[in-house]
């Protein structure tokens, strides 16, 4: 792999594709495993004021995009389905009115089965949402109770049926390796998910995250062997059901990968607005990261004042390689080294020693310009990424 890139070529010359993430930070009840920026509202959700703040934040942020339009828009949470279709529509319309929404953009909204009703789903569709992501997690009563979810199995089935009625493109989030779960329970969940006709399934192994109720009072989880058995069953049913695993947890039917999330893994740009949202933006060949004020109340005040950004930093060259790899190596198909050049401006020669070390350990497969995690590399992703830590 000779260095064949001149300085001029290695600058981040081409426009980097960009998506918009909108964070809606409230949930009916905080789930005990969740470390996302989500809050139980004290009283009514200040929906109108929050949408005003998001719109003000968006307007302030537009100059950082240059001429670019958003190729996807993602409403995440929290529980976005607590917001009315009218509020969601206000945000979509304002992006469209500013001529920032690319034609055919993917517009996703996360919905919780505990807050689902048919009128609302139809309303989202009419407001311009064209992809729904339903947080089912499980269809089993015992698992849903163990996860502290606000919905039961019937709610899960009903929400999935409604999603299928109004959206040809919808995702279900599933979790496995749950407290008290046995392989039969995991199998029933994944079978129900496959039978739903979802175009995409995101399947996450439950992890105990710091600063959550589960970290403080850890539930008994299936042991390592049982976890491995469950994972084999889940992945087997997904593959047999026609879903292609294209990232650690993401499985899509052909042509139905999540374009928004795929852009994260391809180290594309994203503007994140809303409480605590993160952004990665390329400007004049430099990559910046930003984080919005995390507390919803503080965010609304600061956004109204025209400065919702709590932190911003330039990503240094020494961190760039690691950050690129942390994302791109999640893709099961891997990436071309040309992508590293286009997204970071780095000379691939800088990656060569770490790539070779990982390949020597059987963690990566390198064919010409193509880099792909091996089956072992997929399993031990942290070991691969460790090779790219700056000195």
Query: Position of tokens 């795929």?
Result: 262
Q: Which helix (H) or strand (E) is 244 found in, with range?
A: strand 244-245
For residue 124, state whether it binds ligand SAM (rule: CB under 6 A).
Answer: no
Three-state DSSP class for 132? strand
Nearer to ligand SF4, 30 or 125 (CB): 30
Q: In what order do the strands lie in the sheet with 335-336?
A: 335-336, 370-373, 364-367
Calpha distance 202→237 (Å, rounded): 13
Beta-carbon neighbour count of residue 336 at 10 Å? 14
Place of tokens 């192994």: 205
Q: What minimum distance in Å lies between the beta carbon of 137 and ligand SF4?
A: 8
- 89 CB-side CA count, 13 A: 11
The correct pick among 57, 71, 106, 110 for binding ligand SAM (CB under 6 A) is 110
Q: In the window 240-299, what residues touch ligand SAM (CB under 6 A)? A: none
Site string for ligand SAM, 177-216 (x = CB under 6 A): ---------------------------x-xx-x-------
CA distance 296 to 119: 27
Q: Among 24, 82, 175, 186, which residue sits at the site for ligand SAM (rule: CB under 6 A)?
A: 175
Rounded Cα distance between 200 and 245, Å, is 10
Binding-site member from 1, 36, 197, 359 for ligand SF4 (CB under 6 A):
36
Closest distance to ligand SF4 from the beta carbon of 114 (Å):
8
Block residue for tokens 């009916």: 28
What distance in Å separates the CA atoms of residue 14 and residue 341, rounded to the nearest whole number?
10
According to CB under 6 A, which one of 16, 22, 31, 53 is a site residue for ligand SF4? Answer: 31
The least CB distance from residue 267 to ligand SF4, in Å, is 25
Instruction: In whole angstroms, give the CA distance from residue 126 to residue 130.
Output: 9
Contact (Cβ atoms closer than 8 angstroms) between residue 37 and residue 276: yes
Site stretch for ligand SF4 (CB under 6 A), options 28-36, 97-105, 228-236, 320-328: 28-36
Per the structure block, which two tokens stand in for 67? 């001429």
Residue 327 binding: pick among ligand SF4, ligand SAM, none (C-beta 5-8 Å cut-off by kind): none
Q: Which does 30 bind (CB under 5 to 8 A by kind): ligand SF4, ligand SAM, none?
A: ligand SF4
**Cα–Cα dist 377/391, whole Å:** 22
CA dist., res. 94 & res. 372, Å (int) = 40
Residue closer to ligand SF4 by CB (options 31, 250) is: 31
Out of 135, 177, 276, 334, point to the residue binding ligand SF4 (CB under 6 A): 135
Candidate list 173, 247, 257, 387; residue touching ligand SAM; CB under 6 A: 173
Q: Which of 28, 34, 142, 295 binds ligand SAM (CB under 6 A)?
A: 34
Binding site for ligand SAM (CB under 6 A): 33-34, 36, 76-77, 79, 110, 112, 135, 137, 173, 175, 204, 206-207, 209
């Amino acid at each position: 792999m000779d260095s064949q890139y001149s300085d001029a070529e290695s600058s981040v010359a081409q426009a980097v594709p960009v998506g918009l993430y909108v964070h809606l930070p409230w949930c009916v009840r905080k789930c005990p495993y969740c470390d996302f920026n989500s809050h139980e509202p004290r009283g009514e959700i200040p929906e109108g004021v929050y949408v005003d703040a998001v719109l003000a934040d968006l307007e302030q942020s537009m100059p950082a995009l240059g001429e670019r339009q958003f190729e996807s828009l993602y409403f995440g949470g929290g529980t976005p389905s607590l917001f009315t279709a009218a509020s969601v529509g206000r945000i979509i319309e304002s992006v469209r009115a500013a001529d920032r929404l690319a034609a055919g953009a993917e517009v996703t909204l996360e919905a919780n089965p505990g807050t689902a009703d048919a009128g609302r789903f139809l309303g989202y569709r009419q407001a311009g949402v064209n992809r729904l992501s339903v947080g089912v997690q499980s269809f089993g009563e015992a698992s849903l109770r163990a996860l502290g979810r606000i919905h039961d199995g019937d709610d899960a089935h009903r929400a999935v049926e409604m999603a299928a009625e109004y959206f040809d493109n919808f995702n279900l989030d599933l979790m496995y390796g749950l407290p008290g779960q046995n392989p039969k329970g995991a199998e029933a969940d994944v079978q129900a998910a496959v039978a739903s006709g979802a175009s995409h399934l995101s399947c996450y192994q439950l992890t105990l995250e710091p600063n959550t109720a589960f970290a403080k009072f850890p539930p008994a989880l299936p042991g390592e062997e049982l976890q491995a058995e469950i994972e084999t069953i889940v992945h087997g049913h997904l593959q047999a059901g026609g879903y292609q695993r294209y990232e650690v947890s993401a499985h899509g039917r052909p042509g139905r990968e999540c374009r928004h999330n795929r852009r994260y893994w391809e180290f594309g740009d994203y503007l994140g607005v809303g409480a605590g949202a993160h952004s990665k933006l390329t400007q004049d060949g430099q990559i910046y990261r930003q984080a919005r004020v995390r507390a919803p109340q503080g965010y609304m005040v600061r956004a109204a004042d025209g400065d919702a950004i709590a932190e911003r930093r330039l990503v240094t060259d020494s961190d760039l390689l690691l950050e690129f790899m942390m994302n791109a190596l999640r893709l099961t198909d891997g990436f071309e080294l040309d992508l590293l050049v286009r997204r970071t401006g780095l000379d691939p020669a800088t990656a060569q020693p770490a790539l070779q070390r990982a390949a020597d350990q059987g963690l990566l497969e390198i064919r010409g310009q193509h880099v792909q995690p091996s089956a072992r590399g997929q399993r031990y992703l942290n070991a691969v990424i460790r090779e790219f830590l700056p000195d």
